[in-house]
Amino acid sequence: MGSPARIRPADAIVVGAGPNGLAAAVTLARAGLTVQVIEGAPTPGGGCRTQELTLPGFRHDVCSAVHPLAAASPFFQRIDLAALGATLRTPKVAFAHPLDGGRAGYVAGSVEETAGGLGADGPSYRRLFGPLVRDLPLTLPELLAPMMRGVPGHPLAMARFGLDGVLPVSLLARRFRTEEARGLLAGAAAHTMLPLTAPGTAGFGLTFVMIAHAVGWPVVEGGSERLIDALVAELTSLGGRVETGRWVSSLDGLPPARAVLLDVTPRQLAAIAGGSIAGWQGKALGRFRYGPGVCKVDWALSGPVPWEAPPCREAGTVHVCGTLAEVARSEADVNQGRHPGRPYCLVAQPGVVDPTRAPAGRHTLWGYCHVPAGSAVDMSGRIEAQIERFAPGFRDLILARSVKTAADMERYNPNYVGGDINSGAGTLLQTLFRPTPRWNPYRTPLPGVYLCGASTAPGGGVHGMCGEGAARAALADLGVKAPW
Ligand SMILES: Cc1cc2nc3c(=O)[nH]c(=O)nc-3n(C[C@H](O)[C@H](O)[C@H](O)COP(=O)(O)OP(=O)(O)OC[C@H]3O[C@@H](n4cnc5c(N)ncnc54)[C@H](O)[C@@H]3O)c2cc1C
């Protein structure tokens, strides 16, 4: 990390060293530009950091923990992560969905293997996911890019996905009869934080399941921060620099550069631009919608979680809530401004494949539930009650816990407005036009200034594709050939 005094002028400045800021920086540096990254926090990483949040020797992912999007991302596939010290470890069960009575739906391995575990719904599962997973090499690059760029590269495959994808997941789930299959779909779709009756929620659920079959839902050995270490190493090897501990509050305070890429959301863009984005363009940015927040809990445990249903014990991720109707109630509550009594919880247990996270025999556990935007309510009691419901004895294993409310989340990272970890609601409209309806979503009304964070297409998650897309736009405007 350099100090401000030693900084030389760069071709491009990237503000924010989150996964997307660093993906933008690496793409620009690979194209031959000199790049300087300016990060406000003391360390790079944004939503991809690992810390001892509870007890010594227990390494917790502060934000992102599970990396199907990184594993599937064309950007990350261009980086030799293993050579840079980041190894993805893939649990046998990508994700499981426990139900009362020791039952669970789960996604593991191929469509065939998963269908085999779904009893009466096996044939419906095969019918739905067989063609979608076969088409994934064609559709995934389209799904991880801006949607409204004209005719998609593979219109038939995209149409096949889109016909089901635009549905509310509550409707798509009617193709299944068992609570296991219906729960699986609901749990995957509820990552959007939208009511399950919202159009397009099926698309998110389908995508997460398709990716589970293609690459699994891996965690990073040693913690998510290793992905960031890898990107910083790659950038540094290309001559780029990362400066930390410097918050940018105005474009005027930045060193001169040919392009400025901001890993921030529209709200901060407006503030940093200091009123220079006026008229309808300013109004369009002001209309950008943020989603609900999350309350996050990390636990140090004296042993693995004693799930009743065996597949949950091998799963990297467990969606904890119960039936589709219960997930629907939880998400409806949150979207109507209420804190659910029995919340839908996302739980990750990296210890199933990564023993390095905790001292021998001990485990870390990561979890969060959705809450109304800006909430300061500690939901740890309700989350623990939900886990205990499907894993009796869980509470007895807790050695320590660390809680971040939605309000804490925004204090931790200003991009999580109101605690919205995706830096913008995932409504169908805002997924199609993210952040505003522009032909190129990364350009801003200010010449030479680009948005490169998760508020742009394709949205939240650690995949780097927002950063790569913004870098491509900047390179095109500078007349420099993109490296890939
Ligand atoms: C609790 C939680 C769990 C999550 N789980 C997952 C998961 O399991 N898998 C997954 O794929 N994704 C997950 N995510 C989402 C993922 O972390 C984000 O979508 C991703 O980090 C977005 O990357 P980004 O680079 O766009 O922004 P960020 O990661 O938010 O990085 C932005 C960076 O810019 C810096 N910055 C902002 N403003 C300024 C400024 N004015 N000056 C200087 N620096 C600034 C910030 O400090 C930050 O470091 C999770 C997020 C959270 C919070």
Ligand 1: does its nearest atom lie under 6 Å from the Cβ of 62?
A: no
Residue corresponding to tokens 């009362």: 100
Retrieve residue 266's tokens.
């529209």
Q: Whose CA is nearest to atom 49 of ligand 1?
A: 46
Sign of the Cα pseudo-torsion (311, 317, 320, 326, in order): negative
- Residue % of the chain over a pLDDT of 90: 94
Strands (E), 411-465: 449-451
80-132 per-position pLDDT tens digit: 999 999 999 999 999 999 999 999 999 999 999 999 999 999 999 999 999 99
Distance, CA 226 to ligand 1 centroid (Å)? 15
Residue 153: per-residue pLDDT: 82
Residue 129: per-residue pLDDT: 98
- What Rg, from alpha-carbon coordinates, does the chain have? 21
Whether the CB-CB separation of 444 and 455 falls below 8 Å is answered with no
Distance, CA 415 to ligand 1 centroid (Å)? 7
202-235 per-position pLDDT tens digit: 999 999 999 999 999 999 999 999 999 999 999 9
DSSP-based three-state secondary structure for 72: helix
422-447 per-position pLDDT tens digit: 999 999 999 999 999 888 999 999 99
Ligand 1: does its nearest atom lie under 6 Å from the Cβ of 417?
A: no
Strands (E), 328-440: 345-348, 363-371, 398-404
Ligand 1: does its nearest atom lie under 6 Å from the Cβ of 402?
A: no
Question: Which numbered atom of ligand 1 lies nearest the CA of 38?
Answer: 43
Whether the CB-CB separation of 331 and 199 falls below 8 Å is answered with no
Pairing of strands 241-243, 35-38: parallel
Distance, CA 389 to ligand 1 centroid (Å)? 31
The parts of the chain modelled with pLDDT lower than 50 are 1-7
Retrieve residue 179's tokens.
């609570």
Residue 4: per-residue pLDDT: 46
DSSP-based three-state secondary structure for 334: helix
Ligand 1: does its nearest atom lie under 6 Å from the Cβ of 460?
A: yes
Report the distance separating Cα 291 and Cα 288, nearest Å: 10
Report the distance separating Cα 230 and Cα 77, nearest Å: 13
What DSSP line would sit under 203-263, residue for residue?
Answer: HHHHHHHHHHHHH---EETT-THHHHHHHHHHHHHTT-EEE-S-----GGGSPP-SEEEE-
Residue 152: per-residue pLDDT: 79
**Percent of the chain that is helix, strand, coil (3-state, to 5):** 40, 15, 45
Distance, CA 47 to ligand 1 centroid (Å)? 3
The total number of residues shown for the chain amounts to: 484
Residue 316: per-residue pLDDT: 98
- Looking at residue 183, its amino acid is G
Burial 101-117 (b: 16+ CB within 10 A, else e): eebbbbbbeebeebbeb
Treating both helix axes as pointing N-terminal to C-terminal, what angle do 279-286 and 266-273 enclose, rounded to 10 degrees? 140
Least Cα distance to 107 among 61, 68, 69 occurs for 68
Report the distance separating Cα 179 and Cα 323, nearest Å: 6
DSSP-based three-state secondary structure for 476: helix
Residue 8: per-residue pLDDT: 61
Treating both helix axes as pointing N-terminal to C-terminal, what angle do 122-143 and 155-165 enclose, rounded to 10 degrees? 120
Report the distance separating Cα 401 and Cα 382, nearest Å: 14
Report the distance separating Cα 209 and Cα 140, nearest Å: 12
Distance, CA 201 to ligand 1 centroid (Å)? 22
Report the distance separating Cα 36 and Cα 276, nearest Å: 24
* Phi and psi at residue 111, to the nearest 5°: -60, -40
* Phi and psi at residue 480, to the nearest 5°: -105, 135
Least Cα distance to 18 among 454, 470, 455 occurs for 454
Whether the CB-CB separation of 302 and 158 falls below 8 Å is answered with no
- Which residue from 263, 319, 420, 465 has its CB within 8 A of the most atoms of ligand 1, so it is best to mutate? 263
- Across the chain, mean pLDDT equals 96
Q: Residue 214: is it exposed, middle or buried by C-beta count within 10 angstroms (0-12/13-18/19+)?
A: middle
Retrieve residue 382's tokens.
């309700």
* Phi and psi at residue 461, to the nearest 5°: 115, 160
